[in-house]
Amino acid sequence: MSSPILAFDGVTAGYRGKPAIEAVDLHIQPGELVGIVGPSGSGKSTLLRAVTGTTDIYAGTVTLHDRRVRAGHPTRDIGFVPQLALVEPDTPLRAADAVLHGLAASSRRVPWYSKAERAKASALLERLGLAGYERQPIGELSGGQQQRLLLARAMIADSSLVMLDEPTSGVDLQTLQDILGLLDELNRAGTTIVLTTHDLNWVAASLPRIVCINQRIVADGAPADVMTAEVLERTYGASVRIVRDGDRILVTDDRPHAASTSEAR
């Protein structure tokens, strides 16, 4: 097997001496598309932050591109889409400049942007349905537009690994489909993608590999193997029902009324 692009080996990490994830072993190969699922507070964001170098690591090693990540040393050469936190409405930063900030996080040598880089920012905005928004202050964009902007920012450096924290949360259906289509396209072009989500049905329907986490890794594998009532109960501590319909897997909570079932696509 080729060497992983990202490896967690026995990683315990957290904040101010308190672990949020424990004994995590996780190897991700170049070109994979991996979904991290788990309840609120289970350590999904912490797992991603352990890679960006923004959480404390108490045990084990996180290795990215054969280099060990050290806490407090922000990782370069990675596209990262943080969990959407809407900016203040009066934030004056213009959309194109926000996208170009994605280059500052990678290993750039000069402190200004070239014409080619600006053109690339415009092209990305267009690809994400934000054509003509270059000079728009980001505080004036809707939540879905801000989420797409964050994705453009993560893509501009052409990093081989893009990590997204809950990219499908709080966006409208059209934005959701745009984002999923784009991630699929990126992945087909060779980009390794790791995302967190709490949308079990979409994850079950779409991703080749799912990692269930609740401080520790509960399960890791293909949806057909991971999306079982037993695994999800251990992950979520709640009773769920799994309905299989050919290749499709639907997850519902265990209450009998149909309204709680959300069908994937």
Residues that bind Mg ion (CB under 5 A): 44-45
Q: How many alpha carbons lie under 13 Å from residue 107 in its C-beta half-sphere?
A: 4
Told to check if 45 binds ligand ADP by CB under 6 A, we report yes
Q: Which amino acid is at 73?
A: H
Q: What are phi and psi of 119, to 5 degrees?
A: -65, -35
Is 49 or 120 the residue whose CB approaches ligand ADP more closely?
Answer: 49
Told to check if 40 binds ligand ADP by CB under 6 A, we report yes
Which of 4, 38, 79, 82 forms a contact with ligand ADP (CB under 6 A)? 38
Told to check if 12 binds ligand ADP by CB under 6 A, we report no
* 8 Å CB contact between 10 and 26: no
Told to check if 167 binds ligand ADP by CB under 6 A, we report no
- Look at strands 240-245 and 216-221 and give their pairing: unpaired
List the strands of the sheet with 56-64, edge to edge: 18-28, 6-15, 56-64, 67-68
The CB-of-198 to Mg ion minimum distance in angstroms stands at: 9
Residues 6 or more apart in contact with residue 83 via CB below 8 angstroms: 45, 165, 166, 169
Is 35 or 124 the residue whose CB approaches ligand ADP more closely?
Answer: 35
The CB-of-58 to ligand ADP minimum distance in angstroms stands at: 13
Q: Which one of the spans 40-48, 59-67, 106-114, 146-154 is the region binding ligand ADP (CB under 6 A)?
A: 40-48
The CB-of-82 to ligand ADP minimum distance in angstroms stands at: 11
Is 42 or 122 the residue whose CB approaches ligand ADP more closely?
Answer: 42
Q: Which amino acid is at 191?
A: T
Interaction mask 16-35, ligand ADP, x per CB under 6 A: ----x---------------
Instruction: Return left, alpha or beta for 23; rule: phi > 0 is left, psi -120 to 50 is alpha, else beta.
Output: left
Told to check if 237 binds ligand ADP by CB under 6 A, we report no
Which of 10, 41, 74, 237 forms a contact with ligand ADP (CB under 6 A)? 41
Told to check if 104 binds ligand ADP by CB under 6 A, we report no
CB atoms within 10 A of CB 134: 16
From the list ligand ADP, Mg ion, none, partner contacted by residue 42 (C-beta under 5 to 8 A by kind): ligand ADP
CA–CA gap between residue 259 and residue 251 (Å, rounded): 12
Is 20 or 69 the residue whose CB approaches ligand ADP more closely?
Answer: 20
CA–CA gap between residue 146 and residue 152 (Å, rounded): 10
CA–CA gap between residue 144 and residue 84 (Å, rounded): 9
Query: Which residues here bind ligand ADP, judged by CB under 6 A?
Result: 15, 20, 38, 40-46
